[in-house]
Structure 1
Amino acid sequence: MSKTIFLVEDNKADIRLIKEALKHSSIPHQVVTVRDGMDAMAYLHQEGEYENAIRPDLILLDLNLPKKDGREVLAEIKADPKLKRIPVVVLTTSHNEDDIFHSYDLRVNCYITKSRNLSQLFQIVKGIEEFWLSTVTLPSK
C-alpha cells in the first residue's frame, strides 16, 4: 500500500534534495509538497484547489514558512481532532532550544535539525522513511 508524505517546505533546494533522498525508497510512496503554511492547512482541510487532497500518512514540516509559520501549522494540526493523529516530523534548520521545546509542547512526534551536508541530509531522510513508513504502525485513515 502506497504511503503519502506531505512535505511542507518553502526552500526549493531542500524540496528537491528531500525528494531525491526518497526517490530510491523500497516503500511505495508519493510526496505531496506545499510551500507555505496557508497552503498546508488548506491541503489538510481539503479546501479550494485541494478539495481532493489525499490524507497524508506523515507530515514533514519546516518551521520557518511564509504566510503561516510552521509553529502555527503544528499547533493547528495537533488541536484538530481529525488531524492530530497524523505523525508530524519537524524538519528544520533551527537549533533554537525554544523552537525545540515549543514543538514538543505542541505534541510534535519528532524534531530533526536539517544538515547542510548532503550525505547527512540523505541519511536523515532515509532514517525518517525507514522509521515512520516501515517500522512504525501508523493510525489508519
Structure 2
Amino acid sequence: MGNAPSEAVLLLVEDNRGDIRLLEEAFSDGNVANTLHTVTDGQAALDFIYQRGEYEDAPRPDIVLLDLHLPKVDGEDVLHEIKHHPELSQTPVIVLSGVDEDLIKSRDLDHDADEDGVLEKPVDLGEFVKVIGSFEQFRLGVMRME
C-alpha cells in the first residue's frame, strides 16, 4: 500500500456568512480535496491555531484563508501572530479581501501577506470557482508530510 496524499487542512477565518457559504460552495464545486474548518472571529482563529480551549483537539492548519476585517482580534493581528511564531511562520496564509490587492499591499501588513498572497473576493461564483481551482493547483498539490 503506497503513501497516498492526505487532504490538506484549511482554516477559513471569515465573519461574513454569505462569504463563508460562497467559499464552501466554491470548494465543493471546484472539487478541492481538503478538510475545511471555519471560525468567525480573530480570537477563535488564534485559539484554533494554538489549539486552545474548545479547539485543543483541532488539527494544525496547512493553509489559512484569512479575512482582514474580523471581530474580537483583527485579521492583521492574526496574520502577524502566525508569521512571527517560530512553529507557524511557514504556514501559508492567503488574505481574502473585498478590496483591491494594491490597496492591501499599500497598507502596513508588516510584509506578512507578501510571502503568501492576497486574493480579492470575487462577486461571481463561477469566477470564484476558477480562483479556487488555481489555488488548488498551486497550493494544495503539495502532499502533507506526516
Q: Provide the TM-score with structure 1 as the length reference.
A: 0.88
Structure 1 counterpart of 2:137: 130
Contact 2:95 2:117 in 1 (8 A): yes
Structure 1 counterpart of 2:116: 109
How much has 1:127 moved relative to structure 2? 1.6
Q: Once superposed, what is the RMSD of the aligned Cα atoms?
A: 2.0
- Aligned residues, how many? 139
How much has 1:77 moved relative to structure 2? 0.4
SS at match of 2:9: strand
Q: Which range moved further: 5-14 or 20-29?
A: 20-29
Contact 2:26 2:125 in 1 (8 A): no
Structure 2 counterpart of 1:7: 12
Distance 1:51 1:59 in 2: 17
Indicate the structure (1 or 2) with the bigger Cα radius of gyration.
2
- Structure 1 stretches of 4+ with a deviation exceeding 6 A read none
More helix by share: 1
Contact 1:35 1:65 in 2 (8 A): yes
Contact 1:8 1:33 in 2 (8 A): yes
Structure 2 counterpart of 1:94: 99
Unpaired runs of at least 5, structure 1: none
What letter corresponds to residue 68 of structure 2 in structure 1? L
Distance 1:115 1:28 in 2: 21
Identity, % of aligned positions: 36
Contact 1:2 1:27 in 2 (8 A): no
Structure 1 counterpart of 2:85: 80
Contact 2:101 2:118 in 1 (8 A): no
Change (3 A) 1:103 1:123: farther
